[in-house]
Amino acid sequence: MLEKNPLTDTDVMPSKLIQAIANPLFPQVDSLLRSGRHISIDSLDAHAFLMDFQSDLELFYRRYNVELILAPEGFFYLRPKATTLIARSALSELEMLVGKVLCYLYLSPERLAQQGIFSVQEVYDELLNLADENKLLKVVNQRSSGSDLDKQKLAEKVRAAIGRLRRLGMVHHIGEQHSGKFTITEAVFRFGADVRLGDDPREAQLRLIRDGEATNPEALSLEKQAKNQDQAEIENGEDEQTTNFSGVAE
């Protein structure tokens, strides 16, 4: 039996939904959500807007066969159904793995010690420390021999992955645009391991990374991002060009 659309063309739009759509913040917030952005409390105005109109906007987005989700960690995002009318695409295996490393770092004592600030270099080093380097290089090049060129390509892919996750609202740049410093938001819990009662969340996340379980069905539904934007960030240096990666020529 087909599920009835909660708001049809013949229905009268609720007054509070009219207020939400008429709000000056709506176009920007709607565009961010449709692009796959996760909106956390750090985005004060947008987050407050979604909190005020949450139930009404849930009704609105159901028309597009997507759900407006408020995660337990306090951030909003759109979760598409199989019949979604909003374009979507999956993250790559490496992007998923980088996301899981970010979640691991978010749970780490180092986050407090470093006032929550990390660098692209630290993520790259942690990825090599936690995962099998040979497997990582195979992601970049199936016939990888472990050459410096392969390691350079891996570093570039990691940098681009962090850039994409930034556009999804999972990291925020700190300082100058090319400083390579950023903070990690609660939205990285989209990549979090399912933790059983009594388990240590960080240990559970570590097991996932080491076992190579980089995919999460929930996170595979992240909204569409343009592939050429990733390449443009590498070429134009939008992400971070001053941090020295192992094997990257300056």
* Main-chain dihedrals φ then ψ at residue 159, nearest 5 degrees: -60, -45
The number of folded domains in the chain is: 2
pLDDT digits 0-9 by tens, 227-236? 444 454 444 4
101 and 213 inside one domain: yes
Q: Quick one: what percent of the chain has pLDDT higher than 90?
A: 49
**Residue 7 domain flag:** no
**Residue 197 domain flag:** yes
Long-range contacts, 139-145 (Cβ 8 Å, 24+): 139/93, 139/94, 140/94
Single residue among 57, 80, 103 that ends a domain in this structure: 80
**Considering only CA atoms, which of 157, 156, 137 is closest in space to residue 145?**
137
Joined tokens for residue 248: 């990257």
pLDDT digits 0-9 by tens, 173-204? 997 767 789 999 999 999 886 655 556 777 77
At residue 193, the pLDDT reads 64
Which of 61-70, 184-193, 210-219 tops mean pLDDT? Answer: 61-70
At residue 89, the pLDDT reads 76
How much of the chain is helix, strand and coil, in % rounded to 5? 50, 10, 40
**Residue 246 domain flag:** no
pLDDT-based confidence at 8, cuts 50/70/90?
Answer: low
Which of 11-20, 187-196, 217-226 tops mean pLDDT? Answer: 11-20
pLDDT-based confidence at 224, cuts 50/70/90?
Answer: very low
Q: What is the CATH number of the domain that holds 188?
A: 1.10.10.2260
Does residue 238 surpass a pLDDT of 80? no
**Considering only CA atoms, which of 205, 199, 238, 190 is closest in space to residue 79?**
190
Joined tokens for residue 121: 């270099």
**Residue 135 domain flag:** yes
Single residue among 41, 58, 80 that ends a domain in this structure: 80
68 and 127 inside one domain: no
100 and 215 inside one domain: yes
155 and 188 inside one domain: yes
207 and 144 inside one domain: yes
**Residue 189 domain flag:** yes
69 and 131 inside one domain: no
223 and 162 inside one domain: yes
**Residue 190 domain flag:** yes
**Residue 249 domain flag:** no
**Average of per-residue pLDDT across 165-170:** 95
113 and 159 inside one domain: yes
**Of residues 131 and 211, more confidently modeled:** 131
99 and 210 inside one domain: yes
146 and 224 inside one domain: yes
The count of other CB atoms within 10 Å of the CB of residue 99 is: 28
At residue 213, the pLDDT reads 53
pLDDT-based confidence at 207, cuts 50/70/90?
Answer: confident
234, 156 in Cβ contact below 8 A?
yes
* Cα–Cα distance, 24 to 103 (Å, whole number): 33
Does residue 88 surpass a pLDDT of 90? no
At residue 13, the pLDDT reads 85
Q: Which domain holds residue 149?
A: 93-236
Single residue among 23, 47, 80 that ends a domain in this structure: 80
127 and 187 inside one domain: yes
**Residue 147 domain flag:** yes
At residue 239, the pLDDT reads 39
76 and 120 inside one domain: no
At residue 39, the pLDDT reads 97
Average pLDDT along the chain: 80
Q: What is the CATH number of the domain that holds 56?
A: 1.10.10.2250
pLDDT digits 0-9 by tens, 97-133? 999 999 999 999 888 888 899 999 999 999 999 888 8
